[in-house]
Amino acid sequence: MIANWIHVIVVHVVVIGTPWLLYRVFVHRKESLDNKHWKGTYSFLIVLGIIAGVAYFTGPIATDWTKLVLDLYPQDLVENHALWGRVAFVIQGIAALIGIMGWASILQEEKPDKRIPVLLVILLIINTLVMVYTAHLGGLIRRPDLML
């Protein structure tokens, strides 16, 4: 049960953190890529990637718990949720790698690549949409009565 709650809590951190990062990248996209805002963004990209990993790898345990507590287990919804969760995790991992690249450039006293903001805006828009859909599927697992 604890792993289920860990999954539910950390997933919400990622679902809220990704659009917030998108906003942050968009607002600071024209600033120098080695200033304090971008250093914070690189750091949060890395942290959010780690949190997304925790969410992804606690998913199977949450699935096992859900099978025990639900009378009607929606196998198709769970599989779909897991698939889109994997897609979101991979995209978040790529964004985290960009955060590592930004920090690596700064630590080597180089300017991070000027294409980073555009790439991050694209990735984070896509991942926000993927995560909203994944979260919707996760909600339907517990509340199938909300299905249209």
Residue 12 three-state SS: helix
Query: How far is it, in rounded angstroms, from Cα 32 to Cα 61?
Result: 43
Q: In which domain, by residue range, is 60 found?
A: 2-146
Number of domains the chain contains? 1
pLDDT, tens only, 31-90? 999 999 999 999 999 999 999 999 999 999 988 888 888 778 888 899 999 999 999 999
pTM exceeds cut of 0.85: yes
